[in-house]
Amino acid sequence: MTETTTHSASHATPHAPDEASVDQIREAVRALCARFPGEYWRVRDRERKYPSEFVAAMTEGGYLGVLIPEAYGGSGLGLSTAVAILEEVHASGCNAAALHAQMYTMGTVLRHGSPEQKSAWLPKIATGEIRLQAFGVTEPTAGTDTTSISTTAVRRGDAYVVNGQKVWTSRAEHSDLMVLLARTTPKEAVARKSEGLSVFLVDMREALRRGMTIKPIRTMINHATTEVFFDNLEIPASSLIGEEGKGFRYILDGMNAERILIAAECVGDARWFTDKATAYAKERVVFGRPIGQNQGVAFPIARAYAAARAARLMTYEAARLYDQGRPCAEEANTAKLLASEASWAAADTCLQTHGGFGFAEEYDVERKFRETRLYQVAPISTNLILSYLSEHVLGLPRSY
């Protein structure tokens, strides 16, 4: 996806908790994460198993409903609190990829759904009774050029018939609902290619019996990602969210929040790598002194620390603006760029600091190193963020 809106399309101003309350939330998240140490993640990574116990614990703790307003059963605490939660998850050595979508995918329903859709789904999403973890946008041939997707949804009476394929639909096997983007009017029949796309809330439990199939993709990380195929899948017309043909805009409306939350995960990772590298550099003695006494070892860690601090400031600034309903696309994109680069620099430094032991599974460095690399590609690649800043912030000519 190539653009983001300049406004956060805010629905209700969250009641932001004070700093002391956020500190308590952070502490509680860290205590929960301590129950899921490196060994837990190592086993799941090796076996490519979904971390169901961790997802259940975070759900029971109420952490996944923080963006859902109280009126729908969530805590309505806002994005800054969600950022704090995801940062702590990652700083504790855990990984939020299996659950973060439950926090924010519902935003499309919240902002653009009908009153019936909101009251039917949001309270159940808030408790975790219903899992809305799947987001079907990317397709194999269109890639980042989202308006070129070829999955279609054709209206037939009281239903839409869906045909096509999605790729990289993460957590599809662990979700009850999917937010699906499909073309409802052919590209040739619309004035702008961003028109004629629509968003649906698909009940995957039904769809699996009626023409939808899911095929897992094995990747270098344990990410539960999949390909999803639609073969004459009939979904009720009431699955449409908002107006037909306006779906691309609805998807863009969710991008700022997603970028800020992913930036928070990167900041958490960067903290974990820096702490881990620092501890090892103090303790590992070679040539009769701690390796951290060598500036060639210490300086890259100090540099990674500084980059993570700067990225963190931008991330919290973006979240603050978002919570106030103010324009934040520049900050959201910049935060995602800086944080993903900071986490990768910290990962590389941490691995280098550990020398050969960085490659041993039991140190968790190689796993986190693989995991944090993702953020420069997904949910949006670095080049596309730079394109956004070049065109929409600096006013340079559009490149594509």
Ligand X SMILES: Cc1cc2nc3c(=O)[nH]c(=O)nc-3n(C[C@H](O)[C@H](O)[C@H](O)COP(=O)(O)OP(=O)(O)OC[C@H]3O[C@@H](n4cnc5c(N)ncnc54)[C@H](O)[C@@H]3O)c2cc1C
- Residue 341 among the catalytic residues: no
Contact status: 374 vs ligand X (CB under 6 A)? yes
Nearer Cβ to ligand X (173/323): 173
Contact status: 377 vs ligand X (CB under 6 A)? yes
Contact status: 5 vs ligand X (CB under 6 A)? no
Q: Which residue has the tokens 């999955």?
A: 151
Contact status: 310 vs ligand X (CB under 6 A)? no
Bridge partner list, 286: 289
Contact status: 222 vs ligand X (CB under 6 A)? no
Nearer Cβ to ligand X (130/304): 130
Q: What are phi and psi of 200, to 5 degrees?
A: -125, 150
Contact status: 223 vs ligand X (CB under 6 A)? yes
What number of CA atoms fall less than 13 Å from residue 262's CA on the CB side? 28
Spatial separation of the C-alpha atoms in residues 85 and 102, rounded to whole Å: 13
Q: Taking contact as CB under 6 A, which single stretch among the options 110-118, 166-174, 191-199, 253-261 is the one that binds ligand X?
A: 166-174
Q: Supply the minimum distance, in Å, between the C-beta of residue 142 and ligand X.
A: 7
Number of shown-chain residues binding ligand X (CB under 6 A): 23
Q: Which residues lie below 8 Å from residue 107, measured CB to CB, with a gap of 6+?
A: 67, 253, 254, 257
The greatest distance separating any two alpha carbons of the chain, rounded to the nearest whole angstrom, comes to 79
Spatial separation of the C-alpha atoms in residues 74 and 103, rounded to whole Å: 10
Residues 87, 88, 173, 258: which is the catalytic one? Answer: 258
Binding test (CB under 6 A) with ligand X, winner from 5, 10, 127, 144: 144
Report whether 307 contacts 338 (CB < 8 A). Answer: yes
Binding test (CB under 6 A) with ligand X, winner from 266, 338, 342, 380: 380
Spatial separation of the C-alpha atoms in residues 270 and 273, rounded to whole Å: 5
Which residue's Cβ has the minimum distance to ligand X?
143
Q: What are phi and psi of 285, to 5 degrees?
A: -110, 125
Tokens for 75, please give them: 């805590």
Binders of ligand X among residues 55 to 84 (CB under 6 A) are none
- Residues marked active site are found at 258
- Residues of this chain that interact with ligand X (CB under 6 A) are 135-138, 143-144, 168-170, 219, 223, 225, 374, 377-381, 383-384, 387, 399-400
